[in-house]
Chains A and B, each alone.
Chain A
């Protein structure tokens, strides 16, 4: 009978679905997270999420930390930057978020500052009342919110502005580093004749275009770019239009590699430079790690070169876009900071860890030695040994580090819409879809719409 059949299948179905239904119905009323008193400052298990440091580096940090604080276990969960941005928001909104989490300065900090505790008192306790004078000022200002609360501790600073050159290629063709665009184009012409690429940029990634644009603008009128980001100057300023014109000429006059708009800085441009196909690349302080012979050898192998031999790479000031300009601006922001989740049950242990990595000499020394970030704590300097060619690289690196200490211009912007608009200006000009003047106008309008008050 149909009815009977129905009942039989009903029983089967009910059995099959019972579990699933139960699952759907159980979950109501997980209680709100209780922060408690934050627990002990010297023991506990701390979950740390981030996109930096890298796989191989984090264990070294944690190991060194445990020498001082053996009872705090730190579990590090590394995500890619895209995965991190997707994962961290729901995690922090829930009760299952990490105790310590990475945060970049600028737009990301704006998004996540509300989840962190005020770390100012802890920093004061660790370093004393004059703690602010012992650490990098941009590290503090970048992570201080509107209520004057320090919501993250800067671990290291990232600087951009220089161009890195392959000294071996330059020597081979008897070239000297260009100081302005005219010389730059001549260098490129010589290299092209010899079948070597001149300069490579992953112009598809607008964040790196912003670095280049800012570097160009600073050679024309130092500091103007930063003023414009703050609303103290207009994007339609003739000097900024000139910067966009110079940017365009990089594409048109054979500085930039062909098809730059279709490539990314990582891995494409990075590999192009490391494999010796291109003689120059625009990269920041983090490229210092490739002055070390062992790091460089591994990186060249990773770029696909068999039997890698390290070459000498040196940072040069960004060439001036106009005659009589000022070459070599540097601008920076904290690369990342550590925030302590306000909902964490082990806030105090988490704070201990964040403080150690950001403000203790032992922690900062490891950060410095990685040569990826400039340490936030004053008085800590990297060990510069094992360089490929010490005679050339050591003075250049020391100059770069000294200069980094004086930087006042931001690199990462807190207004994400403004960063997007700058990116649009860069690509529309590069692609020839807009003249520099048009693009500057569009950018000015977009900046106003993004909430920058001029």
Chain B
């Protein structure tokens, strides 16, 4: 009943003016208030996790093993130590390499798979399952499989011999130079399915008319991909960029389980370093300071990425 009253009210008015402000997202913003809509998410995530963040911030100023009654306040000393810690800088370097490597490869692969599987090919479900299953399998289970596969007498070397690349044979995870790329390959294997799913979903939003129009203009497949599809899924690409950045900073599973951060810290990341120093070595204060550094880095990178993106989209 109320519905019809409202409807009448609304119809009498001209359509509500849209605000020009904000403009972060393509499209105009309607001026109805949205606070209540974001409330459940804010209460849940911010409510539950901010205590954790504040707690971690507090712990980061202590020299504490996590259980002893003796907690020594050391101010910002942990942070100063971090800045001089070669393992920390090593982890940052690996993170940067990892971020660039995985982002480029897994977004490209995810995009190509999504486009191909939106096209007319046979046995779509089979391919989808093959790409999807790696996302599902726990790294803990797969770690020994990969260690075996990339060992000196493992299947990967066997494969190389088979295709005549036997001279590339290596104990892939045993050497500092090859361990990091191998870890990259394993994580790309495990997370391309995720980029695929998201691109596949995003492509569901593309208006078929737009594609048809491009076709009528004589655009080929590659041309369509670059000039129609890619811009249409740009939002997803940016989201993936942010997620990959955060994910790289807190990367833990694969390096911890497959290489234990080694050999000689060559696959150490912030996530594994935090784990090692807090759980295994009992430097809980130091690990908390590392976590806060991670948080600051992650949020600033995310803000930077989306700012730049916003400027770009406004320029268009």
Contacts and interface: CB of A to CB of B under 8 A. Distances in A.
Direct chain A–B contact by Cβ atoms under 8 Å:
yes
A305 interface: no
A3 B59 CA distance: 46
Interface residues of B, number: 45
A398 to B, nearest CB: 35
B67 A114 contact: yes
Contacts of B280: 85, 416
6 contacts: A13-B36, A20-B47, A260-B174, A263-B147, A268-B148, A431-B263
Interface in A1-36: 1-2, 4-6, 8-10, 13-14, 16-17, 20-21, 24
Contact of A14 (B36, B47, B259): B36
A416 B278 CA distance: 11
Interface string A255-291: 0011111111001100000000000000000000000
B262 interface: yes
A383 interface: no
Interface string B168-204: 0001111110010000000000000000000000000
A93 B281 CA distance: 18
B66 interface: yes
Contact of A89 (B67, B151, B262): B67
Given A20-B43, A112-B67, A261 B174 contact: yes
B167 interface: no
A262 B150 contact: yes
A416 B260 contact: no
Nearest to A259: B171
Contacts of A17: 36, 39-40, 43
A420 B65 CA distance: 16
Given A14-B36, A424-B264, A262 B179 contact: yes
Contact of B147 (A2, A93, A262): A262
A442 B255 CA distance: 25
A448 interface: no
A5 B3 CA distance: 10
A1 B9 contact: yes
A427 interface: yes
A93 B264 contact: no
A42 interface: no
B6 A262 contact: no
9 smallest CB-CB distances across A and B, nearest first, come from A259-B171, A262-B173, A262-B174, A13-B36, A259-B174, A258-B152, A259-B152, A261-B174, A261-B263
A13 B39 contact: yes
Given A264-B147, A416-B281, A259 B68 contact: no
Interface in A415-429: 416-417, 420, 424, 427-428
Contacts of B176: 431, 433
Interface in B1-24: 2, 6, 9-10, 13, 16
A262 B31 contact: no
Contacts of B172: 259, 262
Interface of B: 2, 6, 9-10, 13, 16, 31-33, 36-37, 39-40, 43-44, 47-48, 65-69, 144, 147-148, 150-153, 171-176, 179, 259-260, 262-264, 279-282
A21 B44 CA distance: 8
B174 A267 contact: no
Contacts of A114: 67-69
Contacts of B9: 1, 4
B181 to A, nearest CB: 13
Given A20-B40, A85-B280, A204-B260, 5 more contacts: A20-B44, A107-B282, A259-B174, A261-B263, A264-B260
A427 B37 CA distance: 54
B215 to A, nearest CB: 42
Contact of B171 (A13, A262, A428): A262
Contacts of A10: 36
Nearest to A92: B67
A2 B12 CA distance: 12
B263 A262 contact: yes
Contacts of B173: 204, 259, 261-263
Contact of B65 (A5, A111, A258): A111
Given A24-B47, A204-B259, A93 B174 contact: no
Given A82-B279, A416-B281, A13 B147 contact: no
A259 B37 contact: no
A268 B67 contact: no
B32 A6 contact: yes
Given A8-B2, A85-B280, A264-B147, A2 B31 contact: yes
A76 interface: no
B232 to A, nearest CB: 30
A8 B10 CA distance: 14
A205 interface: yes
Contacts of B2: 8
A2 B259 CA distance: 58
A239 B152 CA distance: 32
Nearest to B176: A431
Contacts of B175: 261-262, 431
A86 B69 CA distance: 18
A263 B257 CA distance: 11
Contacts of A6: 32-33
A69 interface: no
A93 B67 contact: yes
A264 to B, nearest CB: 7
B10 A85 contact: no
Contacts of A24: 43, 47-48
Nearest to B279: A85
B62 to A, nearest CB: 14
B107 to A, nearest CB: 29
A420 B179 CA distance: 20
A61 interface: no
A2 B282 contact: no
B32 A204 contact: no
A37 B225 CA distance: 74
B144 A268 contact: yes
A258 B171 contact: yes
A85 B280 CA distance: 8
A118 to B, nearest CB: 16
B71 to A, nearest CB: 12
A263 B151 contact: yes
Contacts of A14: 36
Contacts of B279: 82, 85-86
Given A259-B174, A262-B171, A204 B262 contact: yes
Contacts of A1: 6, 9-10, 13
A393 B259 CA distance: 35
B77 to A, nearest CB: 15
Residue in A14, A110, A416 with the greatest tally of chain B CB atoms within 10 Å? A416
A105 to B, nearest CB: 15
A170 interface: no
